[in-house]
Amino acid sequence: MKKYAKIIFTFIIIAIIMLFVANPAQNIKYTLDGLNIWAKNLLPALFPFFFLSRLLFSLGQVERLGNIVAPVTRRLYHVPGSSGLIYIMSIISGYPMGAKLVSDMYLDGKITRSDAMKITSFTSTSGPLFIIGTVAIGMFHSARLGIILLICHMFGALLNGLLYRNIGKSSRKIKQNKKNFASNETTIAKTALVTSNHNALNFAHINIYPSCNIMPKLANTNATRKCNKLAKEDSSADSSQTKASHNTTTTRIFAGVPQKVDNVLEDAMYGSIKSILIVGGYVTLFYLLISMLSDYQILKILAYPVQVILGLFHIDPAIGLAIASGAFEMTSGCLDLSLAAIPINAVAPALSFIIGFGGISVFMQAYTFLKSFDMSAGKFFLMKFSQGILSMLCCMAFVFML
């Protein structure tokens, strides 16, 4: 199966290259437009949050702040209180902040893989800057629509977390048992090593200082004092050597961990730049891809199955085309809905689904970080799809307010 998937993927890549070469001037313009969108909209909005959030996590204050909401998160989602802070930061800054913070928490050893998967289910969200500013006001000229979309998006994410709160439960128990078993083995090995060293030292002590150990009652006082002095000096030397060895080992183990403020700043800056460049790459790539698909009418072919399904419910075909566009890049899907001559109350649920799902572009941005704890691509896709559905259902309940 994987072999056929690689062959299909290879043909898709070759087809995209051919589409690009067919009209290089226009496609280069699309690439520059994608870079422009990233540089003017995403870079100023996301980079400060990437940097500041990394600083916050590096200082180790997340657990202390998370204790405030820990009772709620543990009861509802079976995760630590730090997940509440991740949710707030994700809601404030938008995609893919939630995925990056979950990855950072896991790599720092603050949460388990099971916790990371659960937290991901409700912390992959867009932000008010995009929902209210870009979509509602910029495209539809309606602040009320933006408020409704944001509320439905937030509740949709929280409800989505309830669906996956037991995910990875059994695997966590198995891994915990393996961890305990390994810990027991390590303890036994260390005990054996210490005992062996202790016996070896005693044996050496007997050989070096026979007058101190063989028939101590018969040993004369001067010999005893001399032996005790020599033993004390050797013990002090061994202690100094052990301490130096321990310090060397400690330095080696924590060589990659920032211990000073300047190292923390450097680590935060490096990680933030890398993250924002990854986001920019995916935004530019998918903007180019969706533009080429539209130019060659391929998007309409891909949207046809969606339009057929929506037609069964007497829904405008233009919504199906916008959903297909939003499945690749959510901004394009939202823009297509704003250009269609459809009432806002009919468009709002589709908008809510597109923003909740995020599109393949957002999926790839987030999954780049989520791979750090071996998150299944299929499982994450299911999480995002269910989040889009729940956000849409919430919006359908509020649509009468438009």
- Residue range 71-84, pLDDT digits in tens: 999 999 999 999 99
Mean pLDDT (whole number) for 58-79: 85
Residue 6 to residue 369: CA distance in whole angstroms: 23
DSSP alpha helices (H): ranges in 39-168? 43-58, 62-66, 70-76, 82-93, 97-107, 113-123, 128, 138-140, 143-163
Q: DSSP per residue over 330-342, as a string? A: HHHHHHHHHHS--
Confidence of residue 169 (pLDDT cuts 50, 70, 90): low
Residue 131, pLDDT > 80, answer yes
Mean pLDDT (whole number) for 208-224: 44
- Residue range 171-195, pLDDT digits in tens: 444 344 444 434 444 444 444 444 4
Sign of CA dihedral 266, 268, 274, 279: negative
- Residue range 221-256, pLDDT digits in tens: 444 444 554 444 444 444 444 444 444 333 333 333
